[in-house]
Amino acid sequence: MPAALYKIGEEGLLGSINLSSDVIKARLVTASYTPNMTTDVTMSTQTITATGTDQTLASKTITLGVFDSADITYTAVAPGSAITAIVIYRFVTNDAGSTPIAYLPLSSSLTPNGGDITITWDNGSSKIFALS
């Protein structure tokens, strides 16, 4: 599946989600999660299980419909299943109250080995994601 916005995320970007001021996090997910861009309306809809500790995005920017932030590092990610994607979401107290925004598949899977995993966002025109 290519990178995509969740329908609830698109709706939120039209009013209830403020990428600049809300707590926006990134979650590493494995192939056991199959996204449904229409019916996944909270982070607990399909139990979007995290690998590692979700990271809060810092130094967020929005320029001409393009969302970006500082790169992130997940520290000491326990060995386990291969990570295949990142889910960007608005965090509100817990998974049941948190809204998925974007699903970003990795170009190749990463298998955690107990070390750090650094995510370097695209420095091209799309950054984390772009509205078009």
Task: Quickly list H helices, the chain.
Answer: 7-13
pLDDT recorded at residue 132: 77
pLDDT recorded at residue 17: 96
Tokens of 94: 């817990």
pTM for the complete prediction? 0.94
pLDDT recorded at residue 126: 87
pLDDT recorded at residue 90: 97
Per-residue pLDDT reduced to its tens digit, 30-42: 989 999 999 999 9
pLDDT recorded at residue 61: 95
pLDDT recorded at residue 16: 93
Q: Which residues of the chain have pLDDT under 70?
A: none
103 bridge partner residues = 4, 87
Domain ranges within the chain, ordered by starting residue: 4-120
pLDDT recorded at residue 46: 72
Q: Which amino acid is at 46?
A: Q
pLDDT recorded at residue 48: 77
Residues 6+ apart with CB under 8 A from 16: 99
